[in-house]
Amino acid sequence: MHYKQLSFWEKYQPQVDDYVVWNRNGHIDEGWVYFKCDEYITIETAVRPKPKCQYARNDPHKYIHTLLLCPHNLWYQLKYMTNRRSGSK
């Protein structure tokens, strides 16, 4: 997987649909940025189908998304890998 090297002085600003790796003192999580606001982002680390008994036939939400919350003050720990906007991953 390729990643973009940021300049030393350039702070990474995560965007929805970026693929990031979060190294929290040796604990590694990775996934797609699912939501962003000024205070935090959520990182989608897993997706799995809902059991059929938990959704109606016409319910468009047929998946369970596991999201990890990353507060703004920890964005410096994120490594940008790629994004869906460019059609790559």
Cα separation, 40 vs 2, in Å, equals 25
Backbone angles phi, psi at 23, to 5 degrees: -100, 105
Cα separation, 57 vs 75, in Å, equals 39
Where does the pLDDT of residue 11 fall: very low under 50, low under 70, confident under 90, or very high at 90 and above?
confident
The pLDDT of residue 89 is: 46
Q: What angle do CA 61, 64, 67 make, to 5 degrees?
A: 120
Question: Per-residue pLDDT tens for 16-74?
Answer: 999 999 999 899 999 999 999 999 999 999 999 888 776 666 777 788 999 999 999 99
